[in-house]
Each structure stands twice: as C-alpha cells, then as structure tokens.
Homo-oligomer: A and B are copies of this chain.
Amino acid sequence: MTAVKDSVHDYISLDPLAQDLVDTPEFQRLRHIKQLSTVRLVYPSANHTRFEHSLGVYHLASRALDYLDIGGDRARHVRAAALLHDIGHGPYGHQTEEVIRRRTGAHHDEIGHLLDETDVAAVLVAHDLNPDRIAALVRGDGELGQLVSGELDVDRMDYLVRDAHHTGVPYGTIDTGRLVRELRYRDGELVLADGNVQTAESLLLARALMNGTVYRHHVSRIAGAMLERASERLLDTGEVGIDEFRRMADHDLLVSLSEHVPDLGRRIERRDLYKRAVWAPLASVPASVVEMDYAETRSAAREIADKAGVEPDEVLVDVPSRPSFKESRTRVIVNGVVQRLEEASELVAGLRAAERTQWRIGVYAPAEAADDVRDAAADVLGLAEVRVGLAE
C-alpha cells in the first residue's frame, strides 16, 4: 500500500482503488481548490486544499469502517465515496456554490455528471464499483451514506481539525480518535455509543467557535461576496459558460476574473476589499429582508446604489441564511436509548441562541462610498440600526 504523508493524520495508506482515483484529472483538480477559499485573506496560513482534505476524509472513513467492522464491497464503496465527496465543487468551493446552483440547479454533492464518461468513472468500473451507488453515498443516502454526509460524518471530523491546524486557531480541536471509535449502528442509524453526550457536544462547540472566529469572519464574507458578484458578471459576459465555469480550479477563475471583470478581479487578487457599510444583528433587520431571495437582494443592492449615487456593483448585500445547526440532530445513546443531541444536551438550545446572536447582515462598498451607502441601505432595507462593530 502506498502511503501519503499528511500534516494532520501523519501517514494515510491508499489502497489500489484509491491510488487510481487519486491519479484522475478530476481528483487532481482538487489540488487547486482551496478548502477555505477567501478565509486565507484573514488567516494567511489557511492555504490547504480539498485534495488533502479528501485524503483525510478517506482516511477517517477507513478507520471508522474498521471499528464498525464493515468490510468487503460495502466498505470499498464508502471509501471511494469519501475520497470523491468533494469533486463536484466549483472554483473556490462554497463561494461559487450558489452561482452554480442558480444556473444548473445542482448542489456540489451531486456528482453524478462527473461519474459519466470520465476517468473517474473508468476507474470505478475497472475496480467493479457502481458509480450510481457512489453518487448516492455522497448525497448521504442510506445507512452508509450517513458516514459520508450526515451529522456524524467523517467530512466534518476532518475539516474541523484541518482548518484549526492551518489557521492556527485552536478551537476546532475535536477528538477524532474518540469519535471514530465510538461510532455505532443502531436500527440503521449512525449513532455515538453510550457515554458520549459530551463527545457530541464537542463537535457542536467546535463548529460554533470556528464559525464565529473563522468561517464567518467578516473579511472572508466580504471577499466571498465580491467573488460571487464577480463570478455572476463573468458568466454574464458570455466569455465563459457555466459548464466550463464549474470545472475551473481556483487559479483559472482568478485569471479569468482579472481579464474579464478586472475591477473586482484585481481587488480580490490584491486584497483591496470593500468595507462594511452595514453590519447589523438579526434584531434590527425586518423579517422580509432576512427572507429575501437572490433576485430581491440584487434589486435591493441596485436601489441602494442608486440612492447613494454610486455604481450598481459598488454595493453588495449579503444576507446569510438562518443558522441550520445540523449537528444538533446527532444521535447519541444515553443509558441504552438513542436520543437526538438536542434532547440529550442542555447546551444545544444555548448554542442555537448564541448562533442567532452572531448572525449579521452585511452591506459592503468601497471605503470611500461606505458612509453614503450606509444611509441609503438603512433607508432601503428599513434597518433599526446599522451598527458596524470595528472591533468585531
């Protein structure tokens, strides 16, 4: 077995199937898609990619399958799905996800089209694996799909520790060794063994702390909003089609934006970012604004720009969805009975409230236009306050 040295899990052993999959262009492309896209503009060490993350997920899946005593054909499908779970990502991962979804209807975990007449498909068939079954596992379907995509999936376990290692932020440090050991199947559901309420809570807490400190840092959100806007404009130029776009790697997009959308493209490349004109909590935002869809957001941005007397693309309105809190549905055994974590833990409600408190609407604009945009935005969006916490 070949082994790859990884900065998080030390050596990762690859079985022959994994070796062949890793060598496909579809998988090698992940070397060029950063795991945390624009977060590196805040945490400069965060340059890790979906390539090594995917190897890490494969590694944890292998270990979990060993502890769960699942082998043979089923295990081979799960390991392949773990390895391939991110090949559906577009350039800059989650940052272009909505752009792609709006134009194709597809989410990054729908990888069926990549398993059709590609090198990946050829490798799977050569190893007697069923591409459809793998696509289903990546979507989280079925008993084993929960290992790949679910509340207790190995994806989450890898990215929390990997993101902590590479940002230097100590909060993602969950105990993956314990987590993979304590997995069990009960009536077809993946659960944590008895005595692990706190193990489950630690996953939730790590996510919550990483959310506030890393994943939703305002600088990363601003750069992300600029990237999304620039991507829309790139596609609107017609120079790049959506099929080409979604197969791009980070560097392809960066060069393409510099060429075809130079104002935003250059700014992203040089970290010459917009500033926050508005950064306001849930309590000060009308429900109708929180619920706006993409078209409404764009239309609000244009209206604000008009009122503030700036160019339409100099205003970006960024309304995150309400916190979903998937991990709170983690199943744990408590005194022999399977419970949802939200039933077993008093912490969940507190965390949920804390996440709501941290929610912020953002309106971004070039520094020199920020004051004008602030006033216009307050007016157009009907905000009770526009608080811009400089220290946040």
Interface on A for B, CB 8 Å cutoff? 3-8, 10-11, 23, 25, 28-29, 31-32, 34, 40, 43-45, 47-49, 51-52, 55, 165-171, 173-175, 177-178, 181, 193-196, 198, 201-202, 205, 209, 212-213, 249-252, 254-255, 269-271, 335, 345-351, 353-354, 356-358, 387, 389, 391-392
Contacts and interface: CB of A to CB of B under 8 A. Distances in A.
Nearest to A178: B11
Q: Which of A23, A51, A391 has the most CB of B within 10 A?
A: A391
B49 A44 contact: yes
A29 B272 CA distance: 12
Contact of A167 (B7, B32, B168, B348): B7
B198 A202 contact: no
A157 to B, nearest CB: 12
A270 B165 CA distance: 26
Nearest to A52: B44
Q: From A170, A335, A346, A387, name the one whose CB has the most chain B CB atoms within 10 angstroms.
A: A170
Nearest to A202: B209
A165 B170 CA distance: 12
Contacts of A350: 346-351, 353-354
Contacts of A254: 32, 251
B169 A5 contact: yes
A201 B355 CA distance: 12
Identical chains bound together, number: 4
A29 B346 CA distance: 42
Nearest to A387: B335
A257 to B, nearest CB: 11
A325 to B, nearest CB: 13
A6 B44 CA distance: 7
Given A194-B389, A347-B353, 13 more contacts: A4-B44, A11-B178, A28-B270, A170-B173, A170-B174, A173-B173, A198-B209, A251-B251, A346-B353, A346-B354, A347-B347, A348-B350, A350-B354
Contacts of A40: 31
A171 B48 CA distance: 21
B43 A5 contact: yes
A326 B50 CA distance: 37
B271 A354 contact: no
B195 A392 contact: yes
A362 to B, nearest CB: 16
Contacts of A178: 11
A47 B44 contact: no
Contacts of A49: 44, 47
Contact of A255 (B44, B251, B351): B251
Given A251-B255, A252-B255, A8 B213 contact: no
A175 B181 contact: no
Given A195-B391, A271-B31, A350-B348, A166 B7 contact: yes
Contacts of A270: 25, 28-29
Q: Which 10 A-B pairs have the closest CB atoms?
A: A350-B350, A251-B251, A195-B391, A346-B353, A194-B391, A7-B45, A170-B173, A7-B168, A47-B47, A44-B52
6 contacts: A3-B181, A5-B168, A8-B45, A173-B173, A347-B350, A348-B350
